[in-house]
């Protein structure tokens, strides 16, 4: 008899003992309760229970559906009509989910994992154009699941006096918030900026000075709540001094440097700063411009940014390929940068 046979024989014996114990317990229970006992298999008990729960709580759900039981193991059942049949399963169960969830999500509880799965983050919009905000809020509201009201407050990056009231309004509307995302910014091609000193002043102010001031309001707010996430859109244009983006690039370089230092200074206190560096994205900002390689749609960028917010990634290139491109650009000698038009 090999060691492996021992293990199988041992397993069979243990299974027989468990079966006997169950049968004895069932017989004893029937005797003590002095009533007729009915034997129901585990799977059909689950099916009946879930059918009743669904009828009471989610009557709109119609069969067939999958019923997943996550216990010490995981079973997947197909519920059809009054019957259920097992379609698959795994020995990995709740313990594995909690272990992986804890590692991936920083000690999240089972409820946290369910909450994140359902997502349904609540949102309050800030912006300078009431009509645009109304449209955006209505659009977001229609997509929210579970349904939630999306409010908005006027906040103009050219008017720093609007910052504190806007943060307070968002706080009141959401009953406190833990994440702020700043996407606003101005852009114009280098030739227009060189010819228009007033627009250059506005762009430098909005993209750098006043975005930093708004970040300072949010830093104070989030730290007072013992931490949170501040996610701000900078640009790959700020990575090196480049001929086509002398002024716009400078505003974003300043912003990126500020965000990096903010992250170094306050991460230990609970403030996670995320600097987003998009490449070329097809939005109203770039409408009519020639498309470079790796041009992306806003949805792609949004997916990358949401993942970075969840993970607390300090610098995120969107789409990620720009991380590689910029690695090369950062390594190029100054003399090469001077010669190329990039």
Ligand X SMILES: NC(=O)c1ccc[n+]([C@@H]2O[C@H](COP(=O)([O-])OP(=O)(O)OC[C@H]3O[C@@H](n4cnc5c(N)ncnc54)[C@H](OP(=O)(O)O)[C@@H]3O)[C@@H](O)[C@H]2O)c1
Q: What are the residues binding ligand X (CB under 6 A)?
A: 127-129, 132, 156-158, 183-187, 206, 233, 235, 278, 280-281, 283-286
CA 314/CA 275 separation, integer angstroms? 6
CA 107/CA 73 separation, integer angstroms? 21
Q: Please, what is the minimum distance in Å from the beta carbon of residue 222 to ligand X?
A: 20
For ligand X, the closer of residues 54 and 209 by Cβ is 209
- Residue 96 C-alpha from the chain's centroid: 22
HSE (side-chain half, CA atoms, 13 Å) at 283: 15
Q: Please, what is the minimum distance in Å from the beta carbon of residue 163 to ligand X?
A: 10
For ligand X, the closer of residues 67 and 255 by Cβ is 255
For ligand X, the closer of residues 78 and 136 by Cβ is 136
For ligand X, the closer of residues 259 and 281 by Cβ is 281
Cα separation values, 323 from 26, 185, 276, 293, 315, Å? 64, 21, 11, 14, 9
CA 61/CA 55 separation, integer angstroms? 8
Q: Please, what is the minimum distance in Å from the beta carbon of residue 286 to ligand X?
A: 4
Q: Please, what is the minimum distance in Å from the beta carbon of residue 50 to ligand X?
A: 44
C-beta nearest to ligand X: residue: 185
Q: Please, what is the minimum distance in Å from the beta carbon of residue 281 to ligand X?
A: 4
Burial of 177 (0-12, 13-18, 19+ CB in 10 A): buried
Q: Please, what is the minimum distance in Å from the beta carbon of residue 232 to ligand X?
A: 8
Question: Closest Cα to residue 169, out of 205, 204, 221, 118?
Answer: 221
Q: Which residue has the tokens 């250059």?
A: 200
CA 76/CA 61 separation, integer angstroms? 18
For ligand X, the closer of residues 179 and 286 by Cβ is 286
For ligand X, the closer of residues 152 and 177 by Cβ is 152
Question: Closest Cα to residue 265, out of 214, 223, 221?
Answer: 223
């Amino acid at each position: 008899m090999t060691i492996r046979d021992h293990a199988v024989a041992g397993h069979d014996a243990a299974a027989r003992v468990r079966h006997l114990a169950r049968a004895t317990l069932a017989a004893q229970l029937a005797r003590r309760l002095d009533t007729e006992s009915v034997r129901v298999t585990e799977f059909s008990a689950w099916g009946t229970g879930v059918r009743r729960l669904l009828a009471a709580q989610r009557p709109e759900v119609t069969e067939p559906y999958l019923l997943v039981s996550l216990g010490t193991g995981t079973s997947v059942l197909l519920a059809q009509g009054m019957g259920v049949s097992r379609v698959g399963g795994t020995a990995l169960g709740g313990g594995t989910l909690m272990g992986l969830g804890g590692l991936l999500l920083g000690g999240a509880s089972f409820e946290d994992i369910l909450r994140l799965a359902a997502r349904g983050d609540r949102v309050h919009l800030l912006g300078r154009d009431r009509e645009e905000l109304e449209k955006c809020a209505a659009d977001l509201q229609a997509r929210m699941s579970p349904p939630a009201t999306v409010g908005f407050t006027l906040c103009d990056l050219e008017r720093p006096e609007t910052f504190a009231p806007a943060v307070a309004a968002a706080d009141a509307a959401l009953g406190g918030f833990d994440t702020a995302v700043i996407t606003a910014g101005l852009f114009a091609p280098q030739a227009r900026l060189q010819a228009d000193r007033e627009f250059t002043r506005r762009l430098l102010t909005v993209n750098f000075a006043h975005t930093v001031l708004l970040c300072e309001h949010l830093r104070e707010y989030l730290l007072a709540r013992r931490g949170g996430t501040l996610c701000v859109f900078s640009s790959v244009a700020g990575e090196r001094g480049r001929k086509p983006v002398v002024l716009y690039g400078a505003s974003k370089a300043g912003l990126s440097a500020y965000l990096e230092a903010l992250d170094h200074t306050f991460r230990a206190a609970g403030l996670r700063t995320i600097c987003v560096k998009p490449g070329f994205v097809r939005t109203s900002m770039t409408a009519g411009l020639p498309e470079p390689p790796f041009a992306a749609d806003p949805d792609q960028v949004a997916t990358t940014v949401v993942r970075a917010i969840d993970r607390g990634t300090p610098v995120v290139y969107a789409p990620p390929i720009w991380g590689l491109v910029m690695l090369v650009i950062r390594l190029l000698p100054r003399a090469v940068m001077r010669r190329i038009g990039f």
